[in-house]
Amino acid sequence: MVEGKPKSREELKQTLKRIDGKGYKFYRSLKGCYAWPKYLLYVDHVQSDPFAPPSRLRVRVPQKVAGFPKDTYHNKSREIALRDFLTRCFHDACKKFCGGKRGTGNSGLITIEKPGQEILERNSVIVNESFVEARFTAGLPAHGRRIDGKTAETMFSKEIPRIVEQSLIFQNLDGEKLYEHVEVAEDADYLRSRLEEMGLIAFVADGSILPRASGVDPRPMDRRLAVPFRSPESLRVKVELPNRGLVTGMGIPKGVTLIVGGGYHGKSTLLKALELGVYNHIPGDGRELVVTNPSAVKVRAEDGRRIEQVNLTPFISNLPRGQTTEAFSTENASGSTSQAANIIEALEMGAKVLLIDEDTSATNLMFRDRRMQELVPKDREPITTFIDKVRQLYLEKDVSTVIVVGSSGEYFDVADCVICMVEYVPYDLTREARKVAEKYPSERRQEGGESFGEVVSRIPLPQSFRFRRPGRKLKASVKGVHLARLGDHVLNLWALEQLVDIGQTRAIVDALVYAGKYADGKRSLREIVEQVLRDIEEKGLDVLSPKISGGYAAFRKFELAAAINRLPTLKVRLERKG
C-alpha cells in the first residue's frame, strides 16, 4: 500500500520528463499515489525490466464521481456481479483506448484480467459506498532498456483517463446491460439457495443452451444449431425468481439419478452443465439458470495422482500381500484407486452431491457383472464397486449422485430417477427402467456390505506447507488454469474439472501458502480449508497476499482441498477415533 499525501499529476509529468531515455530502473521513482481530477492513481509495483511481469496500478474513483446507485451492489450477489461486470468493461475499454504494445517486451500494454463465462468474485475491481477501484497492469514502455517517457506520459494522461471514464463512471455505462448482469446473478444465487428446500440437487431452466461452441471454447454453441433444453413434464418445477419472475425447468431430485441415452445424444453435455452450475454465468451464456448444489463435486479417474493416507476401505480393501487400505498412500495411483480417493476426499470435505461420467471413470470401480462375480469371487477382488455403495451414500450420508451411464443397465436397480437423453432432449424413463429391471432381474450379488464405511478425517502435518527451501524466497507461478509451480514442486490440477478461471488457480496457489498458518498438526484438513475460506469471506481475497493485486478469483473449499491433496509435500496423520 502506498500511503501519504498524493502527488500531483504535474509531478508525474515532470518525473517522466526527467527519467526519459534513462535506464529502466529509474521507473522505480514512479511508485506512489497521484491525484487526478476524477480519481487517485496508485502505482503499487514497478516492474524491474520491460520483459518482467507488468507493473501493477490502481485507480480509485470516489462514488461521488463514479455514481453507482446502491441497488447495483446492495447485496453480495449484486456486488460480486457488479465487480465482475466492471472488470469486463475495463477490459473492453483497455482494448479500445490503449495504443497496444509499443517498444520492448510488454511496453505500452494496459490490461486487466479477462473474465470468462462465469461471474466470479474477483479482486480486480472493488466497490463500496465510498469508491470504485480497478486494479490493472501496465507495461511501462521502453526502447531497449531505455525509458520511453513520452509514451508513458500518453498512457498516464490520455489512455488511462479515457479507460476510467468509459468503464468506471456509471452514467457512461450501458445501464441496461449492467442491471441485467447483476439481476441474472442474483436470480441464479436465489435459485441455488432454494434447491435444498425443494428437495433438489440441481435445476436446469427450460430454454437453457447447454452445448458449448467447442471443446476448447466455453461460449455457447450457435443458437441456430443448439437444441434448447426442455424439461420432461414429470420433472418440471416452477420457481418464482426475484427478477425474472416465474421460470420453469427440470428439477433433479436428491437421491441417485442416472443420465442414460445413446452415444452422442448429449449426456456428458448435461453433466458438464451441472458441474459448472455451482457458478453463476453471464447473460447470454445459455446456462444462466442452470444451478447445482454448491457442494457438488465432479469425481473422475485420475491415473498417476498422488494419494496421501486416504482411507479407501469403502471401495478398496485386502490388496494382495496383505497391503492395507485404511491409510493408503501412493505416488502413482491407478484409475480405480485414484477415483476412489477422489470420492473419499470429496466426502471428507463435506460434498453432498457427486457427479460422475462413465467417460472419465474407471470401469472396474463402477460395477462388476454377474459373470465376473462368478469367475473372480469377492474374496479375491479388492474393489467394491460404486454400484454397491451409491445407495448407502445416499441413505446413510445424505450424499446424492448423478451418474452418466450409457453402457450398463445394472444401475437401474439403484436409481431413484432415470433421465434419458434422446437427440439432446431429456425424457423421464424412471418407470420404464424399473419395468426393465423387473423383466430382466439382475443376477448380480450385492457386494457393498452392511454400511458405507467410515470417512476418516486427516490432519496435515505442518511441514506439508513448507514449500520454501531454507534461505530462499518462495517462487510460485501459475502456468495455466490447471498447472502451477510452487517452489521446486509442480502442482498438477488437470483433473479438477470445476476449476475454470486462472484467477482461481492464482488464488489457490497463494491460499496453499496462507493455509500453512493454520496447519498446526491439530486441525484437520477440512478445518484448515474452512478457516481459509472464512478469512476470505470476512476480509476479501486480498487476505491471501501482502501484495495488492487484481489477479484473484474466488474458489470453493473443494478445489483448495483438492490442491492440498495433490501437494507433493502433503503429510498427514489420521484423526484418532472416539
Q: How far is the CB of 210 from Mg ion (least distance, A)?
A: 13
Q: Is the separation of the CB atoms in 163 and 86 below 8 Å?
A: no
* SS3 label, residue 135: strand
Partner in contact with 557, chosen from ligand ADP, Mg ion, none, beta carbon below 5 to 8 Å by kind:
none
- Picking from 402, 357, 419, the residue whose alpha carbon sits closest to that of residue 231 is 419
Q: How far is the CB of 246 from ligand ADP (least distance, A)?
A: 23
User: Which entry of Mg ion, ligand ADP, none binds 227, CB below 5 to 8 A by partner kind?
Assistant: ligand ADP
Q: Among residues 112 and 433, whose Cβ is nearest to ligand ADP?
A: 433
SS3 21: coil
Q: Round to whole Å and give the CA distance between 289 and 266.
A: 18
Q: Which of Mg ion, ligand ADP, none does residue 424 bind to, with CB < 5 to 8 Å depending on kind?
A: ligand ADP
The reply to whether 211 sits near ligand ADP by the rule CB under 6 A is yes
Closer to ligand ADP at the Cβ: 273 or 513? 273
Cβ burial, residue 10 (10 Å; 0-12/13-18/19+): exposed
Q: State the binding partner of 263 from Mg ion, ligand ADP, none, CB within 5 to 8 A by kind.
A: ligand ADP
Residue 268 binds ligand ADP, judged by CB under 6 A: yes
Total binding residues for Mg ion by CB under 5 A? 2
> For ligand ADP, which stretch binds (CB under 6 A), given 218-226, 286-294, 489-497, 541-549?
218-226
Number of Cβ within 10 Å of residue 416's Cβ equals 15
Number of helices followed by number of strands (H, E) in the chain: 15, 30
Instruction: Reduce the DSSP state of residue 255 to 3 states and report it.
Output: coil
Measured CA to CA, the distance from residue 548 to residue 55 in angstroms comes to 11
Angstrom distances, CA of residue 38 to CA of 60, 61, 132, 174: 9, 6, 11, 20
Q: Residue 504 binds which one of ligand ADP, Mg ion, none, with CB within 5 to 8 A depending on kind?
A: none
**Interface with Mg ion, residue 268, by CB under 5 A:** yes
- The one of Mg ion, ligand ADP, none whose footprint includes residue 471, by CB under 5 to 8 A per kind, is none
| Residues 493 and 566: beta-carbon distance below 8 Å | yes
Q: For 441-481, give the DSSP string.
A: ---PPP-S-SS------EEE-GGGG--SPTTS---EEEEET
Question: Shortest approach of ligand ADP to residue 288 CB, angstroms?
Answer: 16
Interface with ligand ADP, residue 551, by CB under 6 A: no
Q: Please give the Cα distance from 103 to 372 (Å, whole number).
A: 67
Contact of 353 with 201, CB cutoff 8 Å: yes
**Under 8 Å between Cβ of 164 and 39:** yes
DSSP 377: -
Closer residue to ligand ADP, CB minimum distance, 406 or 448? 406
Kindly state the smallest distance separating residue 222's Cβ from ligand ADP, in Å.
9
Task: By CB under 6 A, name the one of 147, 210, 299, 564 that touches ligand ADP.
Answer: 210
Candidate list 266, 294, 503, 516; residue touching ligand ADP; CB under 6 A: 266
Assess 213 for contact with ligand ADP (CB under 6 A).
no
Q: Minimum distance from CB of 188 to ligand ADP (Å)?
A: 20
Q: Which of the residues 364 through 423 are near ligand ADP (CB under 6 A)? A: 421
How near is the Cβ of 269 to ligand ADP at its closest, in Å?
3
- Candidates 264, 375, 451, 490; binder of ligand ADP (CB under 6 A) is 264
Which class for 77: exposed (0-12), middle (13-18), buried (19 or more C-beta within 10 A)? buried
Nearest distance, CB of residue 346 and Mg ion, angstroms: 21
Q: Which of 326, 359, 454, 575 binds Mg ion (CB under 5 A)?
A: 359
Q: Does 208 bind Mg ion (CB under 5 A)?
A: no
Residue in 42, 424, 514, 518 binding ligand ADP, rule: CB under 6 A: 424
- Residues contacting residue 440 through CB under 8 Å, at least 6 positions apart: 409
- For the bound state, the minimum distance from the C-beta of residue 204 to ligand ADP, rounded and expressed in Å, comes to 11
Least CB distance to ligand ADP at residue 479 (A): 28
Contact status: 407 vs Mg ion (CB under 5 A): no
Mention every residue, 6+ apart, whose C-beta is less than 8 A from residue 454. 311, 313, 314, 577
Q: Applying CB under 5 A, which part among 54-62, 285-293, 356-364, 474-482 lies near Mg ion?
A: 356-364
Asked whether the beta carbons of 47 and 140 are under 8 A apart, the reply is yes
- Among the listed residues 72, 123, 151, 269, the single contact to ligand ADP using CB under 6 A: 269
Contact 437, 409 (CB under 8 A): yes
Residue 359 C-beta: closest distance to ligand ADP, Å: 7
- Cβ proximity to ligand ADP, 226 vs 399, nearer residue: 226
Cβ contact 204:249 at 8 Å: yes
Q: Give whichever of 139 and 211 is closer to ligand ADP, judged by the CB atom.
A: 211
Mapping DSSP to helix (H, G, I), strand (E, B) and coil, where does residue 45 land? Answer: strand
**CB contact at 8 A, 108 and 101:** yes
Site for ligand ADP in 221-240 (CB under 6 A): 221, 225-227
Q: Give the residues lining the site for Mg ion (CB under 5 A).
A: 268, 359
Q: Give the residues lining the site for ligand ADP (CB under 6 A).
A: 210-211, 221, 225-227, 261, 263-269, 421, 424
